């Protein structure tokens, strides 16, 4: 299951009359994936993915997240689960909710965990290998596929 945060492209972040930062109304394209075979609670998967998107720069201060209801519909998850993830991130200071406006990325970066980016890398590689296996690609074929890949950040 996945969801993209659509980009409206209309509004820009800026400052209000008082010089305070005004959140961006632009929603950046970030996909959320749920791995139900992972064993990790869904709310924790959402938290990790938002933290990773912030740490990698795909989500920046002022970016608006989808509403609880819309993300729950997209991921086919209970809205309480999404609310729990958003609530925990808000307690940590990573998200800020403005009533009537939405939930935004705050300026605070997620705290580095003991395993840091290595855990995230292992998580992504594990998911990639499982997905390729589901498509019938053998592990030994992956090296050739990765080496021959001609897209992305080269």
Residue pLDDT tens, the chain, 154 long: 544 444 333 333 444 444 444 444 555 567 888 988 878 899 999 999 999 889 888 999 999 999 999 999 999 999 999 999 999 999 999 999 998 889 999 988 887 654 556 767 777 788 788 888 888 988 888 888 888 888 755 4
Instruction: Indicate if 89 and 123 belong to the same structural domain.
Output: no
Give the three-state DSSP class for 14: strand
Distances 128 to 26, 53, 56, 152 between C-alpha atoms, Å: 29, 17, 18, 16
The pTM for the full model equals 0.61
- Examine the domain organization and report whether 73 and 120 are in the same domain: no
Report the CATH number at residue 85: 1.10.10.10
| 92 and 139 both lie in a single domain | no
Query: Is the domain of 47 the same as that of 14?
Result: yes
User: What is the number of domains present in the chain?
Assistant: 2
- Do 92 and 121 have their domain in common? no
Q: Collapsing DSSP states into helix, strand and coil, what is residue 107?
A: coil
Residue 11, C-beta contacts closer than 8 angstroms, at least 6 positions apart: 24, 25, 26
Identify the pLDDT of residue 127: 79
Residue 152 lies in a domain: no
The set of residues, in sequence order, having a beta carbon less than 8 Å from that of 37 and lying 6+ positions away, is none
85 and 12 in a common domain: yes
Of 113, 1, 129, 122, nearest in space to 51 by CA: 113
Is 154 domain-assigned?
no
């Amino acid at each position: 299951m996945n969801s993209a945060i659509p980009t409206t492209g209309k509004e820009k972040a800026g400052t209000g009359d008082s010089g305070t930062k005004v959140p961006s109304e632009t929603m950046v394209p970030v996909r959320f994936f749920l791995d139900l075979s992972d064993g990790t609670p869904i709310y924790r998967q959402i938290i990790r993915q938002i933290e990773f998107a912030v740490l990698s720069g795909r989500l920046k201060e002022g970016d608006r997240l989808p509403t609880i209801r819309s993300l729950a519909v997209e991921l086919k998850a209970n809205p309480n689960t999404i609310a729990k993830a958003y609530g925990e991130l808000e307690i940590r200071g990573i998200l800020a909710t403005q009533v009537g406006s939405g939930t935004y990325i705050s300026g605070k970066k997620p705290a580095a965990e003991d395993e840091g980016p290595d855990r995230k890398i292992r998580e992504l590689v594990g998911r990639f290998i499982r997905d390729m296996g589901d498509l019938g690609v053998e592990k030994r074929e992956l090296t050739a596929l990765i080496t021959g890949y001609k897209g992305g950040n080269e």
